[in-house]
Amino acid sequence: MSAPTNRAIHKPQFIRGDALNIPTYKVLKQDGSLYKNAQAPEIDQALAIRIYSTMVRTRMLDERGLASQRQGRLSFYMQSTGEEATTVGFAAALDDQDMIMAQYREQGALVYRGFSLDEFMNQLFSNALDYGKGRQMPIHYGSVKLNYMTISSPLATQLPQATGYAYGQKLAGEGHCTVAVFGEGAASEGDFHAALNMASVLKVPAIFLCRNNGYAISTPSSEQFAGDGIAPRALGYGMHTIRVDGNDILAVVEATRQARKIAVEQNEPVLIEAMSYRLAAHSSSDDPSGYRSKSEEAKWRDLDPLLRMKNWLLQQGWWSEEQDKALFETDRQAVMAAMKKAEKVGRPHIDEMITDVYDTPPAHLQQQLLELKAHIRRYPEVYPKSAEQLDDAPEGVNRG
C-alpha cells in the first residue's frame, strides 16, 4: 500500500482503533500436545534438542548470573527467564548470516549461534578478554563473527539502525535479513515509528520482533497504550504483522520462518509481536513485588516455555527425564566453571580506555588519561589493580 485508498463514503464514518483485534498464533499446549487443527513446523530431532538445550543453557546462565550479582561478584544482570521460547525460537528460524540487533534479554539467541560460556563471562566480568574491553555494562554482548550487533542501553536505537542495515542487505542482494528485537515499552519511543515507516517506504528485508512481556520495567501494558498491543501499529505503516504466543517455541519458530520468507523474497518488512512474560525482575536492580502480584507470577510460571518444550520432546520420544536432569546439572556446572575462570583473568589495560575510536588518540584524551593516572598514583590503596598498569602503554598512547 503506497497511498491512502480512494474508496469513498458519503456519510461520516469513524473507525476506532480498539475495534481491531489481532488473533494469537498458537501451536503447542503446555502439556506438549498440539492444538486442534494446528500443525508443528518441520523440526527434526537434532534441531529440536539443539533448541531445547539452548533454552536450558540460557536458563542456567541467568540463574548463575543473578546469583553472582547478589554475591557481589557482578555489578549488574538482566534475566530472560520465562521468555526463552521467544529469544531462542526466532534465532532458530534464521540463517546464520542474518543480522540480529537485540535489546538486552536475547542472550538465548547468542547461545543458539554458538557464543561460548567463556565469551559470556568475559563480557560480564569486563576482563581483558572481553571484546568490548570493559567499556560496556554487563549483558551488553556483541559478536562480529556471529552477526550479533553489540547491545546499546538506550531503548529502540537499534530499530532505525536495523532498517538501514536491512536496506544495505537489499542492495547487496544476497538473500539475508535483519531482525531487530525490542520490548513493548521500547515501542513507545519515537525511533520505533521512524524505523517502521522507513522500512515500509524503502521496502527492506527487516523483521521487527516485539517481546511483549506486559511490563516496561514497572509500568504495565494497560498504562502504556490503549490499542490492541503492538501488532496493529504495523498495519498503519502498510506492513505484514502477526501476533504469536511467545511461550510456544513451535509457534515462534514457524512465525519467524514465514516472516523471513516474506522479508527476503519480497523485500518487505514484517512485525512479530510475541506475547510472553518475564518471570524474573526487570533487572538485578528491580523488585517486582512492588508492582505485580504473586498470583500473576504463578499463573505465568505454569506456562513456563521450557516445560512446554520438554513435554513435547517427551511425547515425540526424543527425550527422557534422565537426559533432562543430566542436562541441567551439566550446564549448571559448566556455567560455574566458566565464571570462576573469567574471574581470574586480569582487567583491560587502563590505556585501552581511549583506544579504538581514533587511529591515534587525540591530545585532549591523552591529557585526560594522564590526569587519571596521576589520580591513581595519588591513591594507590584505593585503585590497587589500576596502579599496577601505569606503565607499558600500548603503541600510540603516551605513557603516564
Give the list of residues 6+ apart from residue 57 with CB closer than 8 angstroms, or none: 111, 331, 335
Domain annotation covers residue 12: no
Domain annotation covers residue 282: yes
User: Quick count: other Cβ atoms within 10 Å of Cβ 47?
Assistant: 13
Q: What pLDDT, on the 0 to 100 scale, is given for residue 391?
A: 67
Residues 245 and 378 in one domain: no
Residues 334 and 355 in one domain: no
Residues 304 and 382 in one domain: no
326-369: pLDDT as tens digits: 999 999 999 999 999 999 999 999 999 999 999 999 999 999 99
Q: Where are the beta strands (DSSP E) in the chain?
A: 24-25, 99-101, 178-183, 206-212, 215-216, 219-220, 240-245, 270-275
Domain annotation covers residue 320: yes
Q: Nine-digit cell at 330? A: 551439566
Residues 254 and 368 in one domain: no
Domain annotation covers residue 31: yes
Per-residue burial over 170-187, b if 16 or more Cβ lie within 10 Å, else e, is beeeeebbbbbbbbbbbb
Residues 179 and 300 in one domain: yes
| CB-side neighbour CA atoms (13 Å) of 60 | 24
Domain annotation covers residue 397: no
Determine the Cα–Cα distance for residues 231 and 22; give it in Å rounded to an integer.
7
Residues 372 and 284 in one domain: no
Q: What parts of the chain have a pLDDT lower than 50?
A: 1, 392-400
237-268: pLDDT as tens digits: 999 999 999 999 999 999 999 999 999 999 99
Residues 171 and 61 in one domain: yes
Determine the Cα–Cα distance for residues 46 and 356; give it in Å rounded to an integer.
41
For 363, the domain range is 350-387
Domain annotation covers residue 398: no
Residues 358 and 221 in one domain: no
Residues 315 and 369 in one domain: no
Residues 383 and 325 in one domain: no
Q: What pLDDT, on the 0 to 100 scale, is given for residue 98?
A: 98
Domain annotation covers residue 10: no
SS (H, E, C) 169-204: HHHHCCCCCEEEEEECCHHHCHHHHHHHHHHHHHCC
Say if residues 63 and 332 touch (Cβ distance below 8 Å): yes
Domain annotation covers residue 324: yes
Determine the Cα–Cα distance for residues 29 and 49; give it in Å rounded to an integer.
18
Residues 241 and 337 in one domain: yes
| CB-side neighbour CA atoms (13 Å) of 368 | 10
CATH number at residue 308: 3.40.50.970
Angle (nearest 5°) at CA 277 between 273 and 278: 125
Say if residues 231 and 274 touch (Cβ distance below 8 Å): no
> Cell 521487527 maps to which residue?
208
How far is CA 212 from each of CA 47, 288, 344, rounded to the nearest angstrom?
26, 17, 38
Give the list of residues 6+ apart from residue 204 with CB closer than 8 angstroms, or none: 163, 166, 167, 169, 170, 178, 198, 267, 269
Residues 207 and 278 in one domain: yes
Q: Say how many domains are in the chain.
A: 2
